């Protein structure tokens, strides 16, 4: 699902302070963090 919507993250301006991703059961934050860091510079994920 993240790959299907990756263009959304690529089009986001860098100056937006927070993006929230809601995860369903079965998703692990670590692989998502790695994938998002490739596209969007992330300084902190909670």
Q: How many CA atoms lie within 13 A of 12 on its CB side?
A: 16
Q: What does the domain layout of the chain look like in residue ranges?
A: 6-39
Long-range contacts of 7-12 (CB under 8 A, 24+ apart): 9/36, 9/39, 9/40, 10/39, 10/40, 12/40
Predicted confidence at residue 8, as pLDDT, reads 74
Q: How far is CA 26 from the centre of its chain?
A: 16
| Cα gap 26→13, rounded to integer Å | 29
Per-residue pLDDT tens for 1-46?
Answer: 566 777 776 776 666 667 677 777 777 778 877 877 776 666 655 5
Predicted confidence at residue 40, as pLDDT, reads 66
């Amino acid at each position: 699902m993240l790959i299907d919507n990756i263009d959304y993250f690529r089009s986001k301006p860098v100056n937006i302070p927070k993006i929230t991703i809601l995860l369903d059961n079965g998703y692990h934050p670590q692989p998502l963090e790695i994938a998002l860091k490739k596209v969007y510079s992330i300084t902190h994920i909670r």
